[in-house]
Chain A
Amino acid sequence: MGRILMKGNEAIGEAAIRAGCLNYFAYPITPQSEVAEYLSRRMPEVGGVFLQGESEVAVGYMIFGAAGCGARVFTTSSSPGISLMSEALSYISGAECPAVFVNIMRGGPGLGGILPSQADYFQATKGGGHGDYRLLVMAPAGVQEAVEMVMKAFPLAEKYRNPVMILGDGLIGQMMEPVEFPDELKSEPSNNDDWATSGMETRKSSRRNLVKSLFLDSEQLEAHNRVLKAKYDRMRREEVRYEPYNLEADYKALIVSYGTMSRVCRTAVDILKVEGFEVGMVRPQTLFPFPEKAIEEAVRRESCKVAVSIEMSMGQMVEDVERSVRGRCPVEWFGKSGGDVPTPEEVIDAVKSFVKELI
């Protein structure tokens, strides 16, 4: 099959199938519902299962159950739905089960709106649920990248026995782009004989596995949380992904932006380059782990006067940008979160005004 034109939501559904995931539980919500609609048709064609839960709370625990049994499983939702799944995310992380969650973000808080947003940055990267847990969070900037991230998410979730989240804004779900599904990203489910409750008949060992997040003994819980921390530290060492843009120039400002917002910023950087006003960009592809070192390196450039976090939220990622910059230059924020994606012109005005204030 050559390239086909797909809506992000459809492509995400197809990517999961191509990655070998045949278990999908979900509940419809705009702007993500097309994943469920697409898979309600495709899953039966490939011998997979799509089951619509009675709520996102139920879906979260259906994912936990399937993951605990060692099945490759995923779900998709949008912001309010992910809030309802956050308890399950904490339990799944605590019980060290692999699963893939896709959040096609809409405006919030509360019911908010149905237009694109990136206001679930904190929820995705700092918790949402309770306890000392982290999700490995990947943020695609286009439909092809969403496909590749979904396909990579399953082996990553299994590598760490931890949920992986794909964080896309509403545009990622709704826009159409040509895509292909790289065969080399297909993967076999990893061996889970030593932990999953997959049934004694299919397993070689005679050991009884137990999937749980309850540790009443303080020493046991301490040891368990140390194990989790070691995993998150390993993610920080091994899984950071980012895309540099125009960093070879002598840029006056460094933009940090992710998702479709970064594509607006890229257009702004191109327009400014023609004007002779150089701006560099680091686009985080993983939000946890965050590309701290890349940003710190980038602001060391002598010409760089300011770092600007540009996001479709009222300033969430900016805190991680500040942490990464380590006081080497001022850090500013620009963004919108009502549903209108900032235009390249608005980005240009914001960046210029920050640079001007410093001259």
Chain B
Amino acid sequence: MEKLEGIVAFVGNYGSGKTEVSINFAVDRKRAGIEVRIADLDLVNPYFRTREARGPLSDLGIDVVLPPEEFLQADLPILSPAVAGMLRQHGRLTVLDVGGEDVGARVLATLADSLRDKHVHMLLVVNPFRPFTDTVAGCLQIRDKIEKASKITVNGIIGNANLIDETAVQDIYKGYDFVRALSAESALPLMFITVAAELLPAIESKRFDCPILTIERQLVPPWKKPVQLKQGGSG
């Protein structure tokens, strides 16, 4: 996880969990003492976006870059001009939560000038329990489309196997085996996998040879409460 500094962009198919991963990764790094900025680049999704967690993230001291307040609910692809500036002069860690598939990743191509000569950790978030990414071939197809649209090469994989509240320990193991196979087939490194905080005690982490990012779920429907983000983490 420590190696991921500079610009880290999370891409993937719709509903792969990019936003939840982006938020929790930003929180994890902030807790490790790193200055973190996170930008909501999701121009294609109308609900469940990073902007919905802006309060708790700001409270932790994470800089959240969003479109101007008056356009937050606009059904329009608005890219904050602040994003180009923050990429040109990025701090120690800048997290980009990119929209789904090639359509969502196209925004990165529009930022090409600001990203020129910069190394971008371009990480493909994969949940094998989602349609179209339940096979290695499906994941590689999505990767190719995203690379073409964004004009940036994907250089790592994030394993985000989950069925939200109904995830079982076996699903995490199955998901890990899947992204391991994807990593072998694509020669892309597996950067980390995710496990929800409530499931973590039941998981044998010895099974994995990559770090685990704990997910404290923030994007929840109105009848549930997001996990309260504390400075030091839940353990």
Contact = CB atoms under 8 A, between A and B. Distances in A.
A343 B164 CA distance: 21
A21 to B, nearest CB: 18
Interface in A13-33: 14, 30-31
**Secondary structure dominating the interface of B:** loop
B222 A264 contact: yes
Interface stretch (B59-67, B82-90, B123-131, B146-154): B123-131
Interface residues of A, number: 33
Contact of B164 (A30, A177, A266, A344): A177
A7 B222 contact: no
B223 A115 contact: no
Given A114-B46, A176-B164, A4 B129 contact: yes
A174 B47 contact: yes
Contacts of A260: 221-223
B223 A170 contact: no
Nearest to B174: A2
Interface centre among B48, B130, B162, B223 (most CB of A within 10 A): B223
B2 interface: no
Contact of A171 (B47, B134, B166): B47
A352 interface: no
Contacts of B222: 171, 260, 264, 341-343
Interface string A94-124: 0000000000000000000111100000000
Interface string B33-56: 000000000000011100000000
Interface string A155-174: 00000000000000011001
B33 to A, nearest CB: 33
Given A5-B163, A114-B46, A10 B131 contact: yes
Contacts of B163: 3-5, 178
A28 B75 CA distance: 13
A339 B73 contact: yes
A267 interface: yes
Given A4-B131, A5-B162, A114 B73 contact: yes
* Nearest 4 Cβ contacts at the A-B interface: A341-B222, A174-B47, A178-B163, A267-B223
Interface of A: 3-7, 10, 14, 30-31, 34, 38, 41, 113-116, 170-171, 174-178, 260, 263-264, 266-267, 339, 341-344
8 contacts: A4-B134, A5-B130, A6-B131, A14-B131, A30-B75, A31-B46, A264-B223, A343-B222
